[in-house]
Structure 1
């Protein structure tokens, strides 16, 4: 068996709350890592770009909507996930507000802490 991400996992029941550790969400890749681990445990996968994230949200990757995402230390992402992020070379930066709004459209309740 190869090491790496678990690509699919049984979905938790609708209404489940997941705790996202936001201490290291200093870029969008950090967010993908954090949401993967919140839903599927250490090294867990829940998308690696926006399209993959949306695929995971549809089910079959550890969580079934509607669910609640408790985003601890969200202030870190508020500082680093900003529209004028000059470190992004490919495409525009994804902001915290964009992620919260996008997730809400998929019936994911976000609790920023």
Structure 2
């Protein structure tokens, strides 16, 4: 296994350990994702970044195995959105590839 792949797997597993243990702050992130139909415990977080103020953007694989992009506004939820996006062409060490692998490992 390549070092890139090992690092990507470790990174995604650590991120999702925190995500599934509800360790991200503010907890409005979880509330908004759930309102938008995401099952937190059945999903794999790929990436999350602060955008501005109380807004966060990222990607995840949901409970149905769909790749989603999200924009969560914790202070004004009417601006929160989740959309399905196509899976890109991937290398084995790409974080989306590793997320798909982890989703299959945990939920298949």
Give your verdict on TM over 0.5.
no
Would you tell me which structure has more helix in proportion to its own residues?
2
Would you tell me which structure has more strand in proportion to its own residues?
2
Q: TM-score, normalised by structure 2?
A: 0.26
Relative contact order: is structure 1 or structure 2 higher (C-alpha 8 Å, sep ≥ 6)?
1
Q: TM-score, normalised by structure 1?
A: 0.25
